[in-house]
Amino acid sequence: METRMYASRVEQRLAELVAFDTRNPGGDERALAEHLAAELRALGASHAEVIPASGHFSAYARFGTSPPPLMLNAHLDTVPANAGTTSDPLVLVRRDRRLHGLGCADTKGAIAAILEALAHKQAEGRAPENVAVLFSGDEELGGACMREFLVSERRRGLERAVVCEPTGCHVGVRHRGVHAARVGATAAGGHSSLADRVPNPLLALARAAVALDDLGQRLQDLGPAGLRGLCMNIAALDGGMAFNIIPAAAFLTFSLRPPPGVDLEGILAQSREVVAAATAPLSTQWSMVATNPAFATRDRAGFAPLFGERATADLPFGTEAGQFVEAGIDAVVFGPGRVEQAHKANEYVDLDDLEEAVAVFRRILG
């Protein structure tokens, strides 16, 4: 059964958030950031502002007067609606206990739950103290907002962060990093009748792709139990114009997902070595096209007062929690919804998950 009646205030909040088009790229993060800054101010924040960063926007607020040691973070941007979506992705639709709309799981549901938890605290006359809230932009594409925030004066005093992503209301304590590289090779090119004597950069990078895959196979036991291996992925091999032309340039794109605790620079050095051996005598040019660090909570016991006995989990996807940890701010990942429901047609979050998240955030806020 499909309905647009709101079962609760948190559902109504989510409907308001979904209606803002914050698709990345192409949406308007600023409008939602301004709306959220005003909401946070109305909910008792001692300071609230919109922060621009490289064409993207975040809403930031502090509760209390001293530099807060704890932050709640959720990103306000979404991916574009996936093919096969059957209703307006910017209109919240409830089908039984499922709330459908772009960003419901990733991560506007978490934003709605945080706002509703703050509203409960305000109604009780117990405004939170020493807590910061960051609803950040550009998580889904470039990560500019988080990078700039973590080197700003606003992060002063932060010791812990709850980074919101769809974990099914489990507490995420580890995930892999994500790193992608593009390797280019060039040669003189020429007529295909000379193929026996003229180096072919496309063929050289094809050999490099196999060598990288072999490296990934050799390192399948690398890392801690539950997160072993590199997940080496050969993503694209580009180049060539026609069957009778030896290409003058070619490009290989690959990614790897090292577990926490693995020496990333050492893995990249090994990758360069196997590529160099496979492409000789041609030289190669490298560029990193994506990088996000692996993550592991440093002090799980320190988060116990916030989450109690709630189950912990290793996550199969990357988040910005690793950036907090690299900046010296310990973190966990938590939120309503599941990753299987995100980035897909008719994205949804279960209303039960959403209401459970409100209860958890009320506990976190004290």
Domain ranges of the chain: 2-175+293-365, 178-292
Active site residue 139: yes
Domain formed by 178-292, architecture: 2-Layer Sandwich (3.30)
Q: 5: helix, coil or strand?
A: coil
For residues 133 and 70, what is the distance between their CA atoms, to the nearest angstrom? 9
**Helix, strand, coil: what percent of the chain each, to 5?**
35, 25, 40
Residue that has been written with the tokens 């490099």 in this structure:
208
- State the pLDDT at residue 127: 85
Instruction: Please check whether residue 209 is in contact with residue 217, taking contact to mean a CB–CB distance below 8 angstroms.
Output: no
- Amino acid making up residue 274: V
Which residues face 51 on adjacent strands? 58
For residues 132 and 124, what is the distance between their CA atoms, to the nearest angstrom? 19
Instruction: Please check whether residue 312 is in contact with residue 167, taking contact to mean a CB–CB distance below 8 angstroms.
Output: no
Q: 327: helix, coil or strand?
A: coil
pTM of the model: 0.91
Q: How far is CA 30 from the centre of its chain?
A: 19
Tokens in use for 200? 């072919």
Catalytic residue among 139, 140, 320, 347: 139
Cα–Cα distances in angstroms (integers) from residue 297 to residues 28, 167, 335, in the given order:
33, 15, 16
Q: What is the DSSP letter of 54?
A: T
Tokens in use for 154? 């606003």
Tokens in use for 311? 């189950």
CB atoms within 10 A of CB 125: 6
- State the pLDDT at residue 6: 58
Omega within 30 of 0 (cis) for the link into 281: yes
- State the pLDDT at residue 3: 44
Give me the CATH code for the 2-175+293-365 domain, please: 3.40.630.10
| Weakly modelled stretches of the chain, pLDDT under 70 | 1-7
Element (H, E) at 39: helix 29-42
